[in-house]
Amino acid sequence: MSSLFVDRAAALLFWGLTSAVSAFAAELSVPYVPTPQEVVERMLQIAKVGPGDYLIDLGSGDGRIVITAAKKHGARGFGVDLDPQRIRESNENARRAGVTDRVAFYQRDLFDTDLGEATVITMYLLPRVNLELRPRLLQLKPGTRIVSHDFSMDDWKPDAHVAMDAKDKYGGSGGKSDIYFWVVPARVAGTWRWELPVAGKPRAYEVTLEQRYQVLSGAVRVGDRTVKLQNARLSGEEIRFSFTAGVNGAPVKHEFRGKVDGDAIGGSATLSGARIEGQLQWNARRGARPAVAPRDTGLRLSQSSRGAFN
Ligand SMILES: C[S@@+](CC[C@H](N)C(=O)[O-])C[C@H]1O[C@@H](n2cnc3c(N)ncnc32)[C@H](O)[C@@H]1O
């Protein structure tokens, strides 16, 4: 039997016993099992929580994640829990930590909680609860970070996964903890068009992007050629990809990097080839025909040297 299986079996037994003695077991989607403090600290580090953040802990227990985010990282936020005993403990813990001006705790069902203000969501729930929440999480502002203790989200693969030993887990018996991290991806599927002024002429580009969560693939049409995208990446609203396409018969590497805002992307394009090299402003639109490229700025072919940029 694998050690992972033993660890998961022990966890489920522990969770089962805990829920059996809870007065709220009938209503709770998940029993109360606190995240060990060392795991809390690591979750907040992985999400790079800082003073600009608003963190919401779904099923907040004794409030430790929200309180640590406020006390150690200067964040604001709130926790929700159905159990009034947990809310009382959280308010007392917040008072002792001196963070009552930055945190709040509400006795509320996590499924009835508005998540719109969050820049970071934390959760220590169960796989089926994570999956029930998943459609709502995917609707959050692109760039919202999500950290889950121990449970993943099926085919929405995490952007990062860390496994660690946690000696205080399960009331001090110790165990392994998994931390899963996602960034809510912008919705970028579709056809994007733009023009770049290259070698004295506007060149039209048309990229068709396919998206599965944060994983992108696609192809670009330049002139009468279609080439596959390489290194396509999406993190929140930050997008990048590259491809190699011919300019006047010579291969030129094109690297694009930008920020998605609805049906627009703004950023930069870096072109490099034997006779052409430089950076241009990049503005793409989804669905629309391209705007005419500016006439006076752009990359020109150099007959003799690399680095011609007029
Ligand atoms: C595993 S504990 C995690 C506590 C805390 N987030 C932590 O990591 O230390 C799950 C918590 O979710 C709460 N809970 C379960 N179902 C809930 C629901 N539908 N709405 C709000 N809270 C819920 C439980 O009372 C419990 O405190």
Q: 174: which 2 tokens?
A: 């110790």
CATH, domain 190-286, list 2.60.40, 3.40.50, 2.120.10, 2.40.128: 2.40.128
The residues, ordered by sequence, that sit 6+ positions from 16 with a Cβ below 8 Å of its Cβ are none
Protein residue with least CA distance to atom 1, ligand 1: 33
Whole-structure pTM value: 0.86
Protein residue with least CA distance to atom 23, ligand 1: 59
Q: 140: which 2 tokens?
A: 């959050």
Protein residue with least CA distance to atom 11, ligand 1: 59
Protein residue with least CA distance to atom 13, ligand 1: 59
CATH 2.40.128 location in the chain: 190-286
Instruction: Determine whether the shortest distance from the Cβ of 179 to ligand 1 is under 6 A.
Output: no
CATH 3.40.50.150 location in the chain: 3-183
Q: Tens-digit pLDDT profile for the chain (310 aa)?
A: 344 444 555 555 555 555 544 455 557 889 999 999 999 999 999 999 999 999 999 999 999 999 999 999 999 999 999 999 999 999 999 999 999 999 999 999 999 999 999 999 999 999 999 999 999 999 999 999 999 999 999 999 999 999 999 998 988 889 999 999 999 999 999 999 999 999 888 999 999 999 999 999 999 999 889 999 999 999 999 999 999 999 888 999 999 999 999 999 999 999 999 988 999 999 999 995 555 544 434 454 443 223 222 2
C-alpha distances (whole Å) from 109 to each of 61, 91, 114, 131, 221 are 13, 17, 10, 16, 49
Report the C-alpha gap between 164 and 159 in whole angstroms. Answer: 17
Instruction: Determine whether the shortest distance from the Cβ of 60 to ligand 1 is under 6 A.
Output: yes
Instruction: Determine whether the shortest distance from the Cβ of 278 to ligand 1 is under 6 A.
Output: no
Q: 202: which 2 tokens?
A: 């506007």
- What is 3-183's CATH topology? Rossmann fold (3.40.50)
Q: Which of 12, 18, 30, 129 to mutate to test the pocket of ligand 1 (most atoms within 8 A of CB)?
A: 30
